[in-house]
Structure 1
Amino acid sequence: MVRTADENQALCGVRILIAEDEILIALDMEAAFRDAGADVVGPCTTIAAALDAVRNEALSLAVLDIRLGQVTTEEVSDLLAERGVPFLFYSGQALPVEMQRKCNGALVVDKPAAQQDLVGAAAKLLAA
């Protein structure tokens, strides 16, 4: 992901959960969202850590990989939906059928994406 400074800080004051198990991708995402003015929760590299964050943090938005290790983030997306927190998926994999059904219309940003594409997707989701 190519990083560029966002002078407008489109996500100023937004609290974003990052659930990503590839640490280099997670750190790049964290930097991109911080550059856009967001406060970042995580990155969470396990389902347990992501669930804990959803239960205990005030979140504006979550960005989830479809899988953390071998486990899907379905339980995390279910809890986010229950709590009314918008989320998007950032993954190189297709959304499993059951998750497609449950997350009808969920935004999926394909890896790899440029920083401005991922930040833009988050800003668009928050504006909706």
Structure 2
Amino acid sequence: MSDSVMRFRVLVVEDEPLIGMDIEYAVEGLGHVVVGPVAELNGALGLAADETLGCAILDVNIRGGNSYPVADMLLKRGVPVLFLSGYGMHTLPQRLHEEALLPKPFTTEQLDEEICNLCARASNSRDSRWAEKG
């Protein structure tokens, strides 16, 4: 990764351990830093409130509920999110329909592409204090 490329701190919220590891591997493989993965709502809310983040990948259904409150908190802070779900966009609340959704199951290539899109959105919406030069 060149010095001019931004590396983002990416919150990963996923309650399936193998999927969480796949996401972590993909995020790190693209040169970004993983925060998490975290599997339950309370932990995700804590990280969303306290961590400096560039963007987030959120499984919709997690231990303790769904990730909508996490997304609301992050979006209020200006942090773009990508939802992961085995259900369609119609299951998301209307307020979240503008956010990206990657349907499960997904391929490694689809995940990599969505992470790149998410980080590009973060780059366009944030200033350099939200990213690390790497």
The TM-score normalised by the length of structure 1 is 0.83
Given that 1:66 and 1:95 are in contact with CA atoms closer than 8 Å, whether structure 2 keeps it comes out as no
Q: How many residues align?
A: 119
Equivalent position of 2:99 in the other structure: 106
Summarize the alignment of residues 17-96 of structure 1 with structure 2, pairs less than 5 Å apart. 17-69=11-63, 71-95=65-89
Q: Is residue 2:110 matched to residue 1:117? A: yes
1:14 aligned counterpart, secondary structure:
strand
- Root-mean-square deviation (Å): 2.0
Superposed displacement of residue 95, structure 1: 4.3
Equivalent position of 1:126 in the other structure: 119
Equivalent position of 2:124 in the other structure: none
CA distance in 2, matches of 1:19, 1:95: 18
Query: Does the C-alpha gap of structure 1 residues 126 and 33 become closer, same or farther in structure 2, counting only changes over 3 Å?
Result: closer
1:116 aligned counterpart, secondary structure:
helix
Superposed displacement of residue 119, structure 1: 2.1
- Listed one character per residue, the Cα deviations across residues 101-120 of structure 1 (whole Å, up to 9, x for unaligned) are 11132111011212221121
Higher percent of residues as strand: 2
Equivalent position of 1:3 in the other structure: none
Unaligned runs of 5+ in 1: 1-6
**4+ aligned runs moved over 6 Å, structure 1:** none
1:21 aligned counterpart, secondary structure:
coil
Given that 2:41 and 2:62 are in contact with CA atoms closer than 8 Å, whether structure 1 keeps it comes out as yes
More relative contact order, 1 or 2 (CA 8 Å, 6+ apart): 2
Q: State the percentage of identical aligned residues.
A: 32
